[in-house]
């Protein structure tokens, strides 16, 4: 899956990502949420810039994650501009350490990346467990973003693996069975 994601043509990443984000801006839980957590796309993950812009226009508060100083969990920080995101040594752009922290209970919707998702809400991450530990403490709506080829019938799951309630692709937004 990692190889498939990394070899996606740039135009497909751009067009498919835009379709997914456009669908989400009209999705009722997105429209209803007053605050949300996004991520900065890394290595051809589905982009979130259009979601950030739509949230800003609608007056929503938006937080992005960074690896905490203890490097065990993600810390979310309020971001007013994409210029507030800085290059990190471990990968994606992240909020500068000077930005105010957002607590997980402050977020109503958390949009998460993944290498793959399954039809039951299972998520395959990059292996460090940051999102699993974060999702274990999060009580709001959980949505995974993926290209259609990243959604599989079933992924292997460990006891500590956390799930999402919804998955959005360029073809559909679906709620996983509870």
Which residues in the chain belong to E strands, given as ranges? 35-37, 61-67, 74-78, 85-86, 94-95, 101-102, 109-112, 116-118, 123-124, 141-145, 151-152, 166-168, 173-175
pLDDT digits (tens, 9 = 90+) for 103-127: 999 999 999 999 999 999 999 998 7
User: Quick check: helix, strand or coil at residue 160?
Assistant: coil
pLDDT digits (tens, 9 = 90+) for 58-102: 999 999 999 876 667 799 999 999 999 999 877 789 999 899 999
pLDDT digits (tens, 9 = 90+) for 57-66: 999 999 999 9
The pTM score is 0.94
pLDDT digits (tens, 9 = 90+) for 131-172: 999 999 999 999 999 999 999 999 999 999 999 999 999 999
Strand partners, 112: 144
- The CATH T-level fold of domain 2-175 is Rossmann fold (3.40.50)
pLDDT digits (tens, 9 = 90+) for 19-41: 999 999 999 999 999 999 999 99
Dist CA 123 CA 117 (whole Å): 4
């Amino acid at each position: 899956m990692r190889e498939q994601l990394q070899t996606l043509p740039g135009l497909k990443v751009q067009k498919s990502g835009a379709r997914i984000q456009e669908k989400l801006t009209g999705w009722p839980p997105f429209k209803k949420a007053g605050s949300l957590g996004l991520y900065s796309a890394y290595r051809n993950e589905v982009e979130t810039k259009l979601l950030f812009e739509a949230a800003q226009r609608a007056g929503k508060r938006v937080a992005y994650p960074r690896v905490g100083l203890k490097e065990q969990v993600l810390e979310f920080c309020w971001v007013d501009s994409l210029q507030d995101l800085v290059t990190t040594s471990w990968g994606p752009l992240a909020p500068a350490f000077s930005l105010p922290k957002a607590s997980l209970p402050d977020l109503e919707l958390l949009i998460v990346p993944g290498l793959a998702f399954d039809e039951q809400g299972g998520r395959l991450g990059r292996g460090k467990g940051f999102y699993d530990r974060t999702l274990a403490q999060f009580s709001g709506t959980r949505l995974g973003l993926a290209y259609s080829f990243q959604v599989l019938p079933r992924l292997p799951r460990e006891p500590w693996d956390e799930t999402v309630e919804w998955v959005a692709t360029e073809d559909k937004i679906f709620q996983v069975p509870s």
